[in-house]
Homo-oligomer: A and B are copies of this chain.
């Protein structure tokens, strides 16, 4: 019997508690030992619920108990998670977390600490919820030069964009509906401004490069400015969609990363990833394109990944299984140098000026009152921005190549 503790009994933490209970036989078989939740840490009380009998309010109960071998961290946020996790690792306990803020901000340090004390700091659930992506990158794609990771990494925004596309609703109306269904938070900024996807691509890129990518360095644009008109043009282009993509890629010795809404063609791998689902495309120089698809959020799916990390920790006592990434900082190149094709929207009165500024732009045959939409040739971001300012472009969207 291996004793574990769960820090944070919210959606994911209570999910882990349930998974350990429901799938106990399978977990025992796979881990080589039964799991038992000895403590659950939460500030709240849960009177009458089964968790009540293992509930503690003081983290030191967990940290000071040598019987606890693995700690699950599902509190979210950098603090106090960072302090608690550091102490757990220092105390010789492995940690499994779903907390992308923590991993993106403090991953390198925590992995180094885990190596020092010969335990593990696992975070499969921090990206892509239940989708296996971190362990496949670390153990299956080890013979490839991974040149790109590009994904739909946020279920909330994908739900909103799918809703807008299918029902012609506005961003505000789709957000409201997502909130009513529990797919979006009351404070939706982390999702709709792209911050969540940004942290996730920082984690994936750090893994691929073996160096620390600071999420603060990643150009990040959310979906709040996407309108019905954008979808009208996307449809007119042949049923294209708009997806919030989190993309990190290498070009020579340069590394680029960005989070932004993109127009996506039907032929693209990520085109079919709709609703709350996530899809993560990985391109290796040998394996070519792969896609990992599934539920990128949600209680059971995310808890499944966290619990599988616990199983991995139980199977590897005294051994740090993965190196992770170093604390050496990876500089990102300026996305002003990257080339894109753009959907550009201008007021009707500015159409002539636009066409002069962008020779070779294609006018899109869509009925949007008072304005014209164009598809520009491929050109560097920096050039586009300058020309767009001169041409009076009201709104633009990049096209995924």
Binding site for B on A (CB under 8 A): 19-20, 22-23, 26-27, 29-31, 124, 130-132, 135-136, 139-145, 210, 269, 272, 284-295, 298, 300-301, 303-305, 307-308, 310-312
Contacts of A22 in B (CB 8 A): 285-286
In the bound assembly, the distance between CA atoms of A292 and B19 in angstroms comes to: 23
Do A292 and B295 form a contact, CB below 8 Å, given A19-B143, A136-B136, A312-B139?
Answer: no
Interface centre among A132, A141, A142 (most CB of B within 10 A): A142
A141–B290 CB distance below 8 A? no
Q: List 16 A-B contacts (CB under 8 A).
A: A130-B290, A132-B132, A132-B140, A132-B290, A135-B135, A136-B140, A139-B139, A139-B308, A140-B305, A141-B304, A141-B308, A286-B303, A287-B304, A288-B294, A291-B294, A293-B293
Could you tell me the distance between the alpha carbons of A300 and B145 in the complex, rounded to whole angstroms? Answer: 12
Residues of B within 8 A of A295 (CB): 287-289
Question: Quick one: closest B residue to A319, CB to CB?
Answer: B319
B141–A210 CB distance below 8 A: no
CB distance from A27 to the nearest CB of B (A): 6
Contact B269 A293 (CB under 8 A): yes
Q: Which residues of B contact A30 (CB under 8 A)?
A: 142-143
A30 to B141, CA, bound (A): 10
Residues of B within 8 A of A140 (CB): 124, 132, 135-136, 305, 308
Is B124 a contact partner of A312 (Cβ separation < 8 A)?
A: no
Q: Which residues from B are CB-within-8-Å of A290?
A: 130-132, 292-294
**Would you call B286 and A144 a contact (CB within 8 A)?**
no
User: How many copies of this chain sit in the oligomeric assembly?
Assistant: 2
Given A141-B304, A308-B143, check contact A130 B23 (CB 8 Å). Answer: no
Give the docked Cα–Cα distance between A286 and B29 (Å). Answer: 17
Nearest CB of B to A106, in Å: 23
Kindly report which residue of chain B lies nearest to residue A312, judged by CB atoms. B139
Q: Which residues of B contact A139 (CB under 8 A)?
A: 132, 135, 139, 308, 312
B residues near A292, Cβ cutoff 8 Å: 290-293
Would you call B294 and A289 a contact (CB within 8 A)?
yes
Q: How far is the CB of A289 from chain B (nearest CB, A)?
A: 6
Tell whether A26 pairs with B143 under 8 Å between CB atoms, given A286-B303, A304-B284: yes
Q: Using A19-B143, A143-B26, A210-B29 as known contacts, say yes or no to A286 and B304 having CB atoms under 8 A apart.
A: yes
Q: What B residues does A311 contact at CB under 8 A?
A: 142-143
CB distance from A241 to the nearest CB of B (A): 13
Residues of chain B with a CB closer than 8 A to A298's CB? 288
Beyond A132-B132, A141-B308, A288-B300, 5 extra complex contacts between A and B, CB < 8 Å? A23-B144, A130-B287, A142-B311, A143-B311, A290-B293
Q: How far is the CB of A398 from chain B (nearest CB, A)?
A: 23
Assembled-state Cα–Cα distance A269/B26 (Å): 26
Residues of chain B with a CB closer than 8 A to A304's CB: 141, 143-144, 284, 286-287
Chain B nearest CB from A185 CB (Å) reads: 21
Q: Are A136 and B145 in contact (CB under 8 A)?
A: no
Q: With A and B bound together, what is the CA distance between A310 and B289 in angstroms?
A: 21
B291:A291 contact, CB within 8 angstroms: yes
A376 to B23, CA, bound (A): 37
Q: Are A27 and B143 in contact (CB under 8 A)?
A: yes
The reply to whether B300 and A287 form a contact with Cβ atoms under 8 Å apart is yes
Q: Name which residue of chain B comes closest to A128, CB basis.
A: B290
The one of B26, B130, B136 in contact with A132, judged by C-beta atoms closer than 8 angstroms, is B136
Min CB distance A216 to B, Å, is: 27
CB of A151, distance to nearest CB on chain B (Å): 13
